Structure 1
Amino acid sequence: MDRWIGVLKIQLYPNSNSFYRVAASLGLSSSPKSLAVPSGNAIFFSGDRVEETENPVIERLSDPQRIAEILVSKFGGSINAFVVEAPIFNGPFAVYKDFIPSVNENGEPKSYDATGFPASTSLVLLLSKFLAEAKNVILGKQKEPYQGEPSAPFPCKPKTALLGFSKGGTVINQLITEFGFSELPPQANTNGGLSSKQDDWIVPTSKEQLFNSIAEIHYVDVGLNTEGAYLTSKDVIDRISERIARRASGIRFLFHGTPRQWCDERRVWIRKEKDALVRLLKRTAHRNMGKLHICERLYFPGELPGLQMHFEIIEIMDVS
């Protein structure tokens, strides 16, 4: 499968002065030339900026286009990969204001609230606008007419893997809060709650499609300078559990960490919050008939915490 790899700046709302920088690696069908329907979409939310480290490893793994390529290598060549950077940076601090309305000036959330479904609405709109712009770019680079519609569809709708790196984990917290408070499907079916209508889509075009497509949640060395790095609301986890129980397909929660975050004696709440979320998920797992899976992986065990390992986890994390 051929691929288009690029970085675009996307204006989410017409009156907004901020732009999202999004890198992607998209699959292309060979005949006719068009965007292929992927087996899944891996969507990665970045964290704060780290500048002028003079560390080639950190610099390489801070490049969103390189991260997109890594995601394809991990999740498979039939997926699409998206790497989303915050639209606003207060100095080095990433601020996902459209996704989490309660964040302060440094992008730290005061709470996670599903009211209005801001994260899922913003994500669906962002992906849709990115895809439209990418089609224009691809059309401008190829000689033959661009078909603009998917070909050779997969037998199942694309699955979604959500990954939050560092502060990007706050977006994951907001998204799964909204997932928990979203409308329950009337009953499980073989399409995992998706419509059986043959309306092939490349990225989710509604929050319902997004929620129904979620198959994996990855917390990738997340952490904050305040509390809120992990979701610890029992009510929200109970709602998530209830929703998963009504699906035909399950969801995997994977926790990837390094001593940089999980063993930081100055920010002990990070490990405590992670442990609390894992406990809550495990307590509800028995209600879901095997549909909820939890996995924890510590990388660089026994090594001294450092900034380089915080970025290296992107390259070495095991998503299996």
Structure 2
Amino acid sequence: MAISASEIPPASREPIRDRFLAALDIGGTKIAGAVLDPDGAVLHRAERRTPAAGAAGEVFGAVRAVLEELAAVPEWGRVATLGIASAGPVDIARGRVSPVNIPGWRDFPLVDQVRALPSASGLPVLLCGDAVAMTAAEHRIGAARGCRDALCLVVSTGVGAGLVLDGVIRNGPTGNAGHLGHISVDLLGEDCVCGSRGCVEQLASGTSLTRRALRDGWRPSGPADGAALAADARAGDRVALATFDSAARALAAGIAAVATLIEIEVAVIGGGVAEAHDVLFPPLRDHLAAYAVLPFAASVRVERAALRADAGLVGAAFLAAERRSAEAS
């Protein structure tokens, strides 16, 4: 049975039970890989820093190194599928990626390059956006479990999102449906790396948070990173608190727009910035109450992702296994 590229089979479909699963999660900061059991438990991990400013071959070299490390584990010989979650935009039909935060990869043939590696020889490979993978994991076993309509966001180096509608993950013909990070919420805002302006990502991503805080006068006592900014916000630093408030406002505007458009039940937020949930979520919920005012949108709730850093790996593994099972049935 052929499955449309615009939808992922429902999360109730059972994965392959007698084999192991493999996954990659490619982002602007790190490239992670794992071998998992059929229920999504991570058995082995491998990770490399993403040389985000490097040429295409250098970035792919990190992917190759992760797969080679995984291929050395005993379970690799019984791996049934390989799921790849990548920062977007992605083109799932052509197996190509153009991550905004990895300039060296523009229309990069990721799936073909992976299939050509000895470590991946013969494995069915499925590409998806990293936020779609996170959505699959959270819908199947995480904070969106049991929800018919949900929005799941990855707020990290960039901002990605995926949609669950009528119990099915809808990723669109190219795999980018629900890409909330590049919806403009500030029509007169700063230029975004995507070419638009005032995007959610421009206001709420981890890199944008620290950059704007420094511009506005933040003086960190140590490394100027998201963890330090969150710590200073907890300590009452005025600039740090204002920066998180601005990010929360942007996210709230985006979530409210989605809730108004398609009546979602929940917005699940994961990624590195969500680790600062104690300083991000209170203003986010306050701003959301101000933006999502119509009765059918006002009930949307905000939850922290349950699978945290593993969501992309688990979701990519599930999607690849479920697609193979669906096509074989």
Which of the five TM-score ranges fits, normalised by the shorter chain? 0.3 to 0.5
Higher relative contact order structure (alpha carbons within 8 Å, sequence separation ≥ 6) = 2
**Higher helix fraction (1 or 2):** 2
Q: TM-score, normalised by structure 1?
A: 0.33
TM-score, scaled relative to structure 2 = 0.32
